[in-house]
Structure 1
Amino acid sequence: MLFDTLKVSIVLVTAVTRWKGLETRFLLWKSLPSSIDRLQHFASSRMCASVKRCDLKVESPGFWDALGNLEDGGLDVVKKFFELLTSFPNLATLSLTALTLDPLKLQRVSEIHTLQTLIIHDCRLPRTFNKLSIRDLEVSGNPTEMFPASKEDYGLASFFDLNQVERLQVSKPTWGDPLGLFCTQSNSPISFSNMKVLSMPWTLSLSPTFPSLLTQCPVLEELRLFSQAPKTPSHSKFNQSGATTLHPSVAPHLKIFIGPDVCASTFTSRSLRTLVMASSEGRPHDIRKDVLPILTDIAFPGDLERLAFGVDCLSDPLLDYIAGSFKSLKNLSIFISMVDGERYSSDIHCRKMWISRLSSRLPSTLIRFDISTRFAGLNHSEDVSGEDLNVLMTPLSQRCKKLTAFTMSYQSAARGRTWAWRRSERTGYGSGQWVNTDEGVRQ
């Protein structure tokens, strides 16, 4: 089987010069002498059709170091890389890291008629070019370095036809104004008439211009507001103070929302298929005040297939509402953060109490169920054993006949553990075991 990804990296090497007893060390960018020959080989008629993705990365200790070196004449291998891009007839994805994308390079990119996805990390766009039509665009970097200091209206809108973008992901930004990414002048009109998927750090949703950005996406179907350090969304830390108020009419066609629950309440009137509410571990969410009001406001509960949220405890009313309302739910994830022994009442159960009651209080349509707990006062003697979990799985797998995966991860002050259960496709029977802590425990 032929490969489908071609990766080229320009690495840093340390050079040493000695003169009259003095030693000087400096960094050089270096590619293998055979790199150009290899590129030409992969672009040959026998190999080129298999390549669907090309990655070019310049390793550098600092953003400006790489750009300065490449601007001063560049490297032959970089020049050859862009020259050969049109030799790959099935090239769909192009990833570029730490490069200066001058008009000549952008011209080469525009000539790739099969290109669907463009990923640019820490690149510089010094001058405007005929706008590129890209379906999927992923951008990361500092705008002051990405766009040079200029009185012109620079931004992504100067380089890309934003009306052609269907999926946009913005990661690692340092700008506070989301509209500033697309144009440096706030009065410049922008539009995303075909934007269906928007993914960006949740901090950008705090900007006063964030609602204006959403109004420019009339057909938006998926909105992901992730934490700066990517984690499982329902476990990410979100500071929800100062959140921007969204008008109820924005994103009328939204089907997937992943982000802080302060924004989730805006979209409960939509026909949601996925709702992942990220909560703050520093301020565990109260079931009655923070979670149930959002769940009860969901206008089309029968459409919801995936649900994830974080709470400070687990209660019978919460589980009963989920089981009784969401008849099509296939994926359920719950994160519980609390201190053992605090705030117990008749309808709140500690782990050993509710573990035996889950089987009768979960939707029978579930295919996957994940539950994570953080108990600050948990002692080793209180650990739930694998035998306890196997006892739970017997009635649970009988009630949820399509259930294929169940995980329970928990962390105490002393340690963390994860127990995973999987159903065999061949036999139809399931079995569970403890898995690697580093991989299994989500923090």
Structure 2
Amino acid sequence: MNKISYDQLKETLYSEKLANGLQVFLLPKPEMAKTFGIFSTDYGSIDQTFVPLGEKDFITVPDGIAHFLEHKLFEKEDRDVFQDFTKQGASANAFTSFTKTAYLFSATSNIKENVTTLLDFVQDPYFSEQSVEKEKGIIGQEIEMYNDQPDWRSFFGTIQSLYENHPVQVDIAGTVKSINEITKDDLYTCYNTFYHPSNMTFFLAGNFEPEKMMRLIKENQDAKQFEPVSELKRRFPEEPDRVAMKKNVIEMPVSVAKCMIGIKEQTDRSSDETFLKEELLTEMLLDYYFSKSGEYYQELYEADLIDNSFQFETNIERSFGFSVIGGNSTKPDELAERVKQMLHGLKEKKLTEREFTTMKRKKIGQFLRAMNSLEFISNQFIHYHLLGIDLFKVLPVIEELTVKEANDFMGNWVDEDRISVCQIVPEQG
């Protein structure tokens, strides 16, 4: 078992790659009453085209199958696994993103039992024709519900305006049509390919003894049989640098319009550190200019173009990246033009050393505060681990950023061909 101490953060991480390929990371925090565990696979909604385990040719599966799998794994032939966690005093959940599926629990007692339950239920799939058909109705209702939510429609409408071919443009849950095409065999094909231990990560943070916990996990895994696996092959379509459409207008029964401005990010993936720096700089620039204390936020608010719903986010992964800025607006066209002008104007701006020091201090403060949360540590560790980055080395990278790097990045960040607008507008009578 490997042991790494991060003196700056006063954390010690234990890790081991098990014989079956599973990566296990343990972060003991004896001062915490709670323990948080997450069992994650490097498999999300964008992984539609791949070579199945034991085969040679690529196949493409229906949209939404990763999310469908997440739902189905909790249901066994004789019970619902949520009840097992509840009996053991734990709160359990799961989520599917573009790039991963994760199963998690938090508890203050019965930690060994809950760890065992988490490992066992994820590694023991049960799919029947009848239960798959039943699930289609449940997920279909979920899809319809989200399609009625303006916030969700504006978020995915923005991504669809940015991406022409990449599967990130497809709703994580799929469509009612696509999920109706899913079969029990499809689920087993995807499960056997992507849920092999060598494609998975287990992370536990909280109140436990690392040596005993690692022994428990190893014994659990040694008792199970897994097929030998070769390298996973996935394929994504060619995606142009430009956006798919400059403007996407969606009519919905809303009283106030929504306007989102999307940036199709072009992150340098030549090295893990360069990738991380560009992700951090993107987040820092958006925060500096568009957060409630930001110069541009104040301009937009005083011009009555935005309200308190105004927000921004960045999502940068291996095969795609985007940032979204916007919210409710009574003048959506004016808001879109003003934000685009602001973004283009950054090319001519130069941050001073003092301004950049302020940005860095805020980012460091946000990071250190977040590190008090087991949920943040666990989820972010998994996120960065899949990108080949150590979460506990993010802080030194922030500290090492220079104003020159920030200005160089800002000067090339935004391009007109990589900006699009999505608006949710009131239905026309």
TM norm structure 1: 0.25
Q: Specify which structure has the higher proportion of strand.
A: 1
- Structure with the bigger percentage of helix: 2
Larger Rg: 1
Larger RCO, structure (CA 8 Å, separation 6 or more): 2
